[in-house]
Amino acid sequence: MSGMSLPADLLVLHGKLISMDAQRRIYSDGAVAVQGNRIVAVGPSTEVVAAYTAKETIDARGGVVQPGFVDSHVHLSQHLGRGIIPDLWPEEREHEHWLPYWLNLSEEDAEASTMLACLEMVRNGTTTFCDHGGKFCGESTAAVVNRVGLRGMISEICWDIPPYPSVGTGDTDACLQRLERLTQVLPKRADVRVWAGVSMAGMGRCSDRLLVEGKHLADRLNLILDFHQSFASGDVAQYWKHAHGKTAIEHFANLGILGENLQLVHMIHTEDSEVALLAATRTNVVHCPAASTRVGRGVSRVGRFPEMLAQGVNVALGSDSGNYSDFFDVGRQAYLASTIHREARGLMPTISAHEALEMATLNGARSLGVLDAIGSLEVGKKADIVIHSNCRPEWHPGLNVVNSLIYSAQSVAVDTVIVDGEVILRGGQFRRLNEEEEYRRIDALAQQLHRRMGFKIPSRWPVI
Ligand SMILES: [Zn+2]
């Protein structure tokens, strides 16, 4: 080197670096240089060290360095009731918890739930998420997300055909006004970590007009439209009737809402003809394996996710919610996505570990319309970086790092999380927050909420 050293704010050195760049290069002793919130260099440690002098240096000590995971579907406001629905309850009884939870949830509760969800995502190596939207205004959600330092698209719950009048969000016009207002107060700009998208309930809870107008709003503001679809067989039957013998995707094609800024969550019960239409229109799908395996909706039995990927559909991964998957961990979702389909079919491989890692990073970024900014460790992208500790048994011998990351790794090995160039978790400690204090407040609020609901927490075994 000539001796001229370039300035950087942060260097991450000596990692087994999975770049997820176009060639999918993996550096066995790799480094990243960060200036401000952007990556300015990626390469072998020797080259990056020779070229840059940084204010802060993190030695990854041989640990895996990866682009942060993208969790493409979460419900931030449901974590205070997480794990409370008993295994033996049939689907028809879910509302016995869900409805009083919704009605009694205060804004403070929703903020605590959001905090819990964000802490969990950071610890599991997620740096960007897509929230489905809650009961309260998006600004209060955004404030919590910004406190933690995560990146994410948020929304407010929206449906003009609600399941109960008491949870309604107004008629079609009121729903559209609600969505448009939020996009104005939380615009998607290059310098923000949190922005509003156009998210709605879907699954028969939104009128055709709301879907179409929502798509127009997303088109106009360069945002995505996001809703649930085809989770249960009943959901599919409903469209069949509504669209006079057409599938849901054929119906959406007729409405003109398919396209690369549409993200459909679940898509378990699908026909081959629908997969072809999704591929032809570059419509995105979010596969939430654990949301289905927890409640037995058929994701591995009937899901066509391997076919979607084979035909070029962009399939991302999502964790869903507190009483479906019960965890916000895209690494675990990737493990399930890569294993359950081959188990159900008795075929190898259906979705490989490598494809699962693409789903958890690049595909999530594409689905959210932010592939130009995140999803890989490349020069010019935002610095969203996760470093795993190498001092954990599951990482050894580590002869194939991608297989290790998807099959063996556990989130407890996530040591450092960097979002937008800022180190928010270092050595397993949150830099901005006192985590224990947050859990005390979260637990107290959850207890109070369930007392207000009059909900007797069911337990199969006696709790003394
Ligand atoms: Zn959901």
Residue-wise pLDDT for 403-416, tens only, equals 999 999 999 899 99
pLDDT, residue 1, reads 45
- Between the CA of 73 and the centroid of ligand 1 the distance, in Å, is 6
Mean pLDDT in the chain?
95
**320 - beta bridge partners?**
74
CA of 269 from ligand 1 middle (Å) equals 15
Q: If you measure from the C-alpha of residue 81 to the centroid of ligand 1, how many angstroms do you get, rounded to a whole number?
A: 15
pLDDT at 113 over 50: yes
Confidence class for position 85, pLDDT limits 50, 70, 90: confident
The secondary structure element, H or E, covering residue 361 is none
pTM above 0.95, yes or no: yes
Residue 141 identity? T
Which pLDDT score is estimated for 295?
85
Ligand 1 centroid–CA 328 distance in Å is 12
3-state secondary structure 275-295: HHHHHHHCCEEEECHHHHHCC
Per-residue pLDDT, averaged over 79-108, amounts to: 90
pLDDT in tens, 206-226: 999 999 999 999 999 999 999
pLDDT in tens, 381-392: 999 999 999 999
How many percent of the chain have pLDDT more than 70?
99
Ligand 1 centroid – CA 173 distance (Å)? 23
Residue 244 in this model has a pLDDT that exceeds 90: no
196 alpha carbon – ligand 1 mean position (Å): 17
Q: Report every protein residue that has its C-beta within 5 angstroms of ion ligand 1.
A: 320
The Å distance, Cα 239 to ligand 1 centre, comes to 19
Beta-strand (E) ranges in 397-439? 414-419, 422-426, 429-430
CA of 76 to the centre of ligand 1 (A): 10
Confidence of residue 234 (pLDDT cuts 50, 70, 90): confident
**pLDDT tier for residue 137 given thresholds of 50, 70 and 90:** very high
Distance 41 CA to ligand 1 centre (A): 37
Residue 1 Cα to ligand 1 midpoint, Å, equals: 52
Q: Span 80-94, mean pLDDT?
A: 85
CA of 238 from ligand 1 middle (Å) equals: 18
Q: Which domains are seen in the chain, by residue range? A: 6-67+376-430 (2.30.40.10), 69-367 (3.20.20.140)
Task: Report the separation in Å between the CA atom of 321 and the middle of ligand 1, taken as the mean of its atom positions.
Answer: 6
Q: If you measure from the C-alpha of residue 419 to the centroid of ligand 1, how many angstroms do you get, rounded to a whole number? A: 25
Provide the b/e sequence for 312-345 (b: ≥16 CB within 10 Å): ebbbbbbbbbbbbbbbbbbbbbbbbbbbbbbeee
DSSP bridge partners of 67: 385
Mean pLDDT of all residues in 156-161: 94
455 confidence band (pLDDT: 50, 70, 90): confident
- 150: CA distance to ligand 1 center in Å? 20
At residue 457, the pLDDT reads 78
- Over 80: is that where the pLDDT of 2 sits? no
Cα of 437 from ligand 1 centre, angstroms: 29
Per-residue model confidence as pLDDT tens digits over 406-451: 999 999 899 999 999 999 999 999 999 999 999 999 999 999 999 9
The 10 Å Cβ neighbour count of residue 202 is 25
CA of 426 to the centre of ligand 1 (A): 31
Ligand 1 mean position, distance from CA 320 (Å): 5
The band of 240, judged by pLDDT with boundaries at 50, 70 and 90, is confident
pLDDT of residue 3: 62
DSSP assignment string, 282-345: T-EEEE-HHHHHTTT--TTTT--HHHHHHTT--EEE--B-TTTT----HHHHHHHHHHHHHHHH
